[in-house]
Amino acid sequence: MSQTRYFSTRGGAETLSFDEAVLTGLAPNGGLYIPTEIPSLPADWETAWANLSFAELSHAILSLFIPVDSIPSADLKDIIDRSYATFRSEAVTPLRKTADGEYTLELWHGPTWAFKDVALQFVGNVFAYLLEKRNAAGANEQLTVLGATSGDTGSAAIYGLRSKPAITIFILYPDGRVSPIQEAQMATVPDANVYCVSVLDSDFDTCQSIVKSCFSDATFNATHRLGAVNSINWARILAQIVYYFAAYFQLPEPERKDVNFVVPTGNFGDILAGWYAKRLGLPVGRLVVATNENDILQRFFATGRYERNGSDGVKATYSPAMDILLSSNFERLLYYLAHDTQEGALASASAEERRAAAQAQLSKWYDEIKATGSADMGAAVQRLADSEFWAERVSDQQTLDEIRKYYALPAPYGPYVVDPHTAVGLASTDRSKAKGGKTWVTLSTAHPAKFSEAVELALSKDSAPGFDFRRDVLPPQLAELETLPKRVYKVRGEDGVRALVEAVKRGEKPEPSA
Ligand SMILES: *Cc1c(COP(=O)(O)O)cnc(C)c1O
């Protein structure tokens, strides 16, 4: 039975329950919550789990981390069943063969057609469950989830939290700067607890700093009980561990040994889940970090230095969900790297002393990054990272080339239209294969219809005669959204956002702008 508790990567001896870690999100000292121990798999997992459904597998794995006094086993099963009943694929995350020994793991069969659904369908139900539990015990907690999106995460969060009692969700995005399909995915959700906030004359960074400013205003934060569902939330990582096991069991048995996973990476949440799967005991060869031209992670693995990209800021690429400056969940891996490279007397110290030393190291690195924009983690850390990860950087041009390559794949594996994030992964697989390894699973993180710009650019009349986006790619469910009524709240600046939140929380029903 799980006794796991959670502590902050950046220090403090206190530990939190699963409930507290999930509802708090970011630790007050800026750190991220990680479990006090990584559990062991049952000795017979390989046979006992081999024929489980995705939901059953999820229940088996999540039970290792979630104590029954947080969520009793039967309740956890119910939460998981409801979370994955919304997926269009029986397998939830089906594996598709693209060549001998090569597969994609399609993570986009959920309600918003991108991989974040796998985690956010579950997280939405967990939030609702934990609040209900507290409120049934006499509390009156009403959570206000506030988030900013450049287009892609917002819809997954909205679909995760729509219609949940005791939760209101406000998603901010820059007016006129998200694609029509992305806005339609958010703004056609009719549930009364959902507010799509189009911030006039803004960009994504402005929206994000409005959110940050609201969170750091202690009064506003406490009054409205602000909550976050961004990728630093531990429950998101947890839910994602499952599909690495699901992929393993979908492989033909002879190909299961030494499987390598290639992961299109931005904030490092997805691939970190793969690292936990490996730590749990899944026999994984390499984990390959596939980045676009925002390549801070690729540069770390090459040099051991974690360094922001000068004054350039974020580069807008064809794979926008991976356009990041710093990679938030990478902090969790760095904690383990710091912990496991301790030398001398520390290596024989107590678990608590070793944890404190790793936390102190993390704090120091992050202070340095904040002050100077970079930190050097040293040779021992780089060597250890190198023993488990490879990293590749893929340019915009290579992304388009890769989309064309998979479209041109001969039968029975093609034509296969992949989205630009998946293409970054596939290009990285091509390069990694040359270094050895037998089985390759590339995580496919979005349906191509979600990122039509790159797909239509790659498969133009010249390069792919006969390709028709509407006919060949656009699912009827997404096409239909364009015909549904939208509800959008257009506001100006942080004052406008705050005024809207306050009006809604007072019980008013503000008129939507469109
Ligand atoms: C969020 C996202 C990613 C990056 O995932 P991380 O967990 O941030 O590394 C990749 N592809 C798509 C389509 C995404 O939405």
Strands (E), 217-366: 226-227, 259-264, 284-291, 305-307
Q: Alpha carbon 378 to chain centroid distance?
A: 28
pLDDT tens, residue by residue, 363-376: 999 999 999 999 99
Ligand 1 centroid to 1 CA: how many Å? 32
Let me know: does 6 contact 22? Beta carbons within 8 Å.
no
Burial class (CB in 10 A: 0-12, 13-18, 19+), 399: buried
Let me know: does 140 contact 209? Beta carbons within 8 Å.
no
Contacts of 402 (CB under 8 A, 6+ apart): 394, 418, 423, 424, 426, 427, 430
Any atom of ligand 1 within 6 Å of the Cβ of 175:
no
Q: What is the pTM of this model?
A: 0.96
Let me know: does 214 contact 134? Beta carbons within 8 Å.
no
Ligand 1 centroid to 266 CA: how many Å? 6
The residue whose CA is least distant from atom 11 of ligand 1 is: 445
The residue whose CA is least distant from atom 14 of ligand 1 is: 321
% helix / strand / coil in the chain, to the nearest 5? Answer: 45, 15, 40
Read off the pLDDT of each residue in 32-41 and give the average, rounded to a whole number.
94
Let me know: does 233 contact 22? Beta carbons within 8 Å.
yes
Of the listed ranges 49-53, 272-276, 423-427, 435-439, the least confidently predicted one is: 435-439
Q: Which of 175, 181, 233, 174 is nearest to 205 (CA)?
A: 174
Contacts of 419 (CB under 8 A, 6+ apart): 108, 444, 445, 446, 447, 448, 450, 451, 454, 455
Ligand 1 centroid to 217 CA: how many Å? 29
Rounded distance between C-alpha atoms, residue 149 and residue 230, angstroms: 10
**Candidate of 112, 113, 115, 422 to mutate for ligand 1, largest count of ligand atoms within 8 Å of Cβ:** 115
Q: Which of 388, 363, 436, 267 is nearest to 8 (CA)?
A: 363
Any atom of ligand 1 within 6 Å of the Cβ of 285:
no
The residue whose CA is least distant from atom 7 of ligand 1 is: 269
Ligand 1 centroid to 470 CA: how many Å? 24
Highest average pLDDT, of 182-186, 219-223, 321-325, 390-394, comes from: 390-394
- 21 pLDDT higher than 80: yes
The residue whose CA is least distant from atom 1 of ligand 1 is: 321
**Candidate of 185, 289, 418, 421 to mutate for ligand 1, largest count of ligand atoms within 8 Å of Cβ:** 421
Rounded distance between C-alpha atoms, residue 325 and residue 323, angstroms: 7
Any atom of ligand 1 within 6 Å of the Cβ of 117:
no
Give residue 231's pLDDT. Answer: 81
Confidence of residue 204 (pLDDT cuts 50, 70, 90): confident
Read off the pLDDT of each residue in 327-351 and give the average, rounded to a whole number.
90
Of the listed ranges 149-153, 387-391, 509-513, the least confidently predicted one is: 149-153
Task: Name the active-site residue from 116, 164, 278, 450.
Answer: 116
Which is the closest atom of ligand 1 to the Cα of 269? Answer: 7
pLDDT tens, residue by residue, 68-111: 999 999 999 999 999 999 999 999 999 999 999 999 999 999 99
| H helix runs in 6-69, sequence order | 18-24, 45-48, 54-62
Q: Alpha carbon 55 to chain centroid distance?
A: 19
Any atom of ligand 1 within 6 Å of the Cβ of 447:
no
Any atom of ligand 1 within 6 Å of the Cβ of 267:
yes
Q: Establish whether 116 is a catalytic residue.
A: yes
Distances (CA, A) of 124 to 155, 166, 229, 358, 370: 13, 12, 9, 32, 32
- 346 pLDDT higher than 90: no
Ligand 1 centroid to 140 CA: how many Å? 34
Q: Which of 287, 285, 284 is nearest to 262 (CA)?
A: 287
Residue given tokens 């004054």 in the structure block: 311
Rounded distance between C-alpha atoms, residue 392 and residue 376, angstroms: 20
Which is the closest atom of ligand 1 to the Cα of 268? Answer: 9
Question: Residue 490: phi, psi to the nearest 5?
Answer: -90, 125
Ligand 1 centroid to 268 CA: how many Å? 8
**Candidate of 270, 287, 328, 333 to mutate for ligand 1, largest count of ligand atoms within 8 Å of Cβ:** 270
Any atom of ligand 1 within 6 Å of the Cβ of 294:
no
Ligand 1 centroid to 447 CA: how many Å? 12
Ligand 1 centroid to 338 CA: how many Å? 25
Give residue 151's pLDDT. Answer: 67
DSSP state of 40: P
Residue given tokens 């404190």 in the structure block: 356
DSSP letters of 348-409?
TS-HHHHHHHHHHHHHHHHHHHHHHSEEE--HHHHHHHHHHEEEEE--HHHHHHHHHHHHTP
- 12 pLDDT higher than 90: no
